[in-house]
């Protein structure tokens, strides 16, 4: 962008000049950027774990598994949240499942004088091994996000201060 050096005193004075609403905007945009870093890493880990299946569209609403990674920042600028519950299937890949089987059933019907009995055999639906893609992304990027937070806040202060200088 531009090559202007800004020291900490300048940033704090610029922050003090902003209104309360603009100060909340600064924190919120910095948190949103930090959450975006974690969401991007989570999507990358998901693609690495599942391969092309993460980007293929499902048949009932056309969304991909990757689109289930959601992030948002609190309106007051106090916290940001990244979660994988935008698509319920992601929790199965994150935590895994036990072996799943159907129970099978007996059905009976009467045709004339003699009853007909059928027995449906139980079916094995398999299991999903835990991939822990979200946990891996969190451990990989947590330190980087906290280290960059001051930088993200100062960038947000400069951007909002420049926008309001007009």
148 within some domain: yes
Q: Considering the domain boundaries, does residue 78 fall inside one? A: yes
Per-residue pLDDT tens for 59-74?
888 999 999 999 999 8
Structural domain contains residue 126: yes
Q: Give a yes or no: residue 150 inside a domain.
A: yes
Q: What's the N-to-C CA distance of the chain in angstroms? A: 18
Provide the number of structural domains found in the chain.
1
Q: What local confidence, expressed as pLDDT, does residue 1 receive? A: 45
The answer to the question of residue 140 being in a domain is yes
Domain carrying residue 49: 18-165
Residue segments in the chain with a per-residue pLDDT below the cut of 50: 1
Which residues are bridge partners to 120 per DSSP?
A: 105
Q: pLDDT digit string (tens) for 105-137?
A: 888 777 777 778 878 888 999 999 999 999 999
Place of tokens 């007051």: 76
The pLDDT assigned to 96 comes to 96
Distance (Å, rounded) from C-alpha 61 to C-alpha 145? 33
Best CA proximity match to 15, nearest among 23, 5, 27, 7: 23
pLDDT score recorded for residue 15: 80
In a domain, 9, yes or no: no
Angle, alpha carbons 9-37-128 (nearest 5°): 155
């Amino acid at each position: 962008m531009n090559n202007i050096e800004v020291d900490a005193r300048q940033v704090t004075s610029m922050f003090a000049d902003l209104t309360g609403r603009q100060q909340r905007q600064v924190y919120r945009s910095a948190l949103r950027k930090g959450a975006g870093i974690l969401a991007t890493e989570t999507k990358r880990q998901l693609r690495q774990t599942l391969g092309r299946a993460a980007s293929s569209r499902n048949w009932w609403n056309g969304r991909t598994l990757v689109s289930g990674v959601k992030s948002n920042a609190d309106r007051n600028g106090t916290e940001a949240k990244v979660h994988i519950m935008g698509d319920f299937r992601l929790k199965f890949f994150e935590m895994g499942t036990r072996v799943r089987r159907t129970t099978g059933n007996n059905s009976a019907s009467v045709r004339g004088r003699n009853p007909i009995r059928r027995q449906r055999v139980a079916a094995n639906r398999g299991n999903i091994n835990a991939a822990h893609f979200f946990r891996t992304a969190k451990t990989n990027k947590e330190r980087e996000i906290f280290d960059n937070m001051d930088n993200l806040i100062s960038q947000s202060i400069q951007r909002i201060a420049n926008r309001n200088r007009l």
